[in-house]
Amino acid sequence: MNPRLTKAQQSELCSQLGNVTLKLLYKASVHGYAAAEFHQRCDNQGPTLSVGYNDSSFVFGGYTSISFDQSGAFGKDAEAFLFTFNRGKVLKHQVTNPAYAVLMHGNHGPYFGDNLGFCVNGQAVVYNSPSQDYYNFNAAEMHGNDLQLVECEVYKIGDVSAERKLLEKPWRNMAWTPANRRQLLDQIQTYKPIISSLTQVKVLLIGPVGAGKSSLFNSIKSVFKGHVTNQAMTGGAATSLTTQFRTYQFQAGKTGKLPITLCDTMGLEETTGAGLSVDDVSSMLRGHIKDGYQFNAAVPLQPENMEYHESPDLKNRIHCVAYVIAANKIAIMPPELEGKLNAIRSKVNLIGIPQLVLLTKVDEACPAVEEDLTNVYRSLYIKNKLQEASQRLGIPLSCVVPVKNYTHGLEVDQNGDILLLTAVNQMLRFADDYFDEVNDRLSNLED
């Protein structure tokens, strides 16, 4: 879910609000124009910025420092204002009667006074009434009298100072040194599964569209190549760019293949019948799906299909599951998507496969980490995000690991490598836990 507001527009709006950040809570083209969808994601969120877009290229909306609700009453807010962009600059219209700044209407989206409203009765339209009793503005200047919406977004206002707060001591120890990087590389390159018949650990990557699954493979490969690579297709599309079940192996210089295979999947989507099928996950876990299988979101793979692997052995199965979640999106994860992840987690639990969470985009979520990646375990904000991921996915905090993918620069760096190598090392450790369990089961059968 990518914001339609440009970086320049976001910067202009933030300059009106002080030292703040914007986080996208609701996007009508993704969640729908129904009032219930808006209220589900935006009620009780504190200060917000609502933005409308029309076919006439107007970008306009309103700010309120109070939370939306469905009480049907007016909300008092002396700080509220309406705005529109004029030649790239924000033109503000301050509230004229603070007692009637926001109308908490259960059947509509954001509603400012009785002047300007969005998503009226679940429709992609703007309500406009130029009465000076609430806000004083010119309709032609505000939105060109074009009341048909092509998009509506609501952003939560964040406090930059809170996101920059650093703990005196890191809450996890990490050596940001060349020696640690070399040690991690050696541990991975010399790793051998404790089951002698295996040469590879298979790790299944699962996550929402845009979380960075394919970028994670590219980034790990980049560590071992020594420069940024882009083998797996990545991008910012609203739907999954990965449409096949792909298994990726890594080459480490002249030492040959590394002992780990990452299995990339179609991205999860909140809409029923879209994105990765939960039923296909079971087939992947048990090794029934072959490399190159073309996913069909509407119809999961069936045993009678020619591409169905009927008798997979241990090397074909998944030995560890890694959920790839974006740190800057965890707070606005839709309930439908969270439900799919919980359903998948239940299937993984039944089979007994270890699970961990890889929290990507930590640099985008926290300015202090963006400035210096070594702040990742000193950032209180990132710690809270890891705890939130742990709680929402039902996975222990010790199984949540932050990473930063190589998506912008052209070269790798030591600190980014260390986070990525730490994640790979954790995958191998978790796979060993799975192999221990397999050995225990075999021993019980022999007894």
**pLDDT tens-digit readout, 399-427:** 999 999 998 888 999 999 999 999 999 99
Is 2 within a domain? no
- Among 160, 191, 220, residue at a domain's last position: 160
Helix axis angle for 213-225 and 414-446, nearest 10°, is 110
Instruction: Judge if 343 and 234 occupy the same domain.
Output: yes
Token pair for residue 234? 């990545």
Instruction: Judge if 124 and 14 occupy the same domain.
Output: yes
Is 110 within a domain? yes
Instruction: Judge if 193 and 140 occupy the same domain.
Output: no
List, for residues 177-197, the tens digit of each pLDDT value.
Answer: 999 999 999 999 999 999 989
Confidence of residue 211 (pLDDT cuts 50, 70, 90): confident
List, for residues 17-73, the tens digit of each pLDDT value.
Answer: 887 888 899 999 999 999 999 999 999 999 999 999 999 999 999 999 999 999 999
Instruction: Judge if 255 and 327 occupy the same domain.
Output: yes
Is 355 within a domain? yes
Measured in degrees and rounded to the nearest 5, phi and psi for residue 349 equal: -60, -40
Is 1 within a domain? no
As for how many domains the chain has, the answer is 2
The mean of the pLDDT values for the chain is 88
Between residues 6 and 130, the one the model is more confident about = 6
Instruction: Judge if 23 and 136 occupy the same domain.
Output: yes
So what's the pLDDT on residue 237?
A: 46
Instruction: Judge if 325 and 245 occupy the same domain.
Output: yes
Supply the pTM of this predicted model: 0.68
Is 206 within a domain? yes
Instruction: Judge if 151 and 190 occupy the same domain.
Output: no
Residue 274 in this model has a pLDDT that exceeds 80: no
Cα dihedral sign for 80, 84, 88, 92? negative
Residue 298 in this model has a pLDDT that exceeds 80: no
Instruction: Judge if 117 and 88 occupy the same domain.
Output: yes
CA nearest to 99, candidates 135, 63, 129: 135
Is 291 within a domain? yes
CATH of the domain at 271: 3.40.50.300
- Among 123, 140, 160, residue at a domain's last position: 160
SS3 category, 13:
helix
Instruction: Judge if 382 and 364 occupy the same domain.
Output: yes
SS3 category, 407:
coil
CA distance 260 to 370: 29
Percent of the chain with pLDDT over 90: 58
Is 96 within a domain? yes
Measured in degrees and rounded to the nearest 5, phi and psi for residue 388 equal: -65, -40
Is 304 within a domain? yes
Instruction: Judge if 336 and 192 occupy the same domain.
Output: yes
Instruction: Judge if 208 and 80 occupy the same domain.
Output: no
Helix axis angle for 335-351 and 278-285, nearest 10°, is 20
- Among 108, 126, 160, residue at a domain's last position: 160
Domain extent for 269: 164-446
Instruction: Judge if 343 and 205 occupy the same domain.
Output: yes
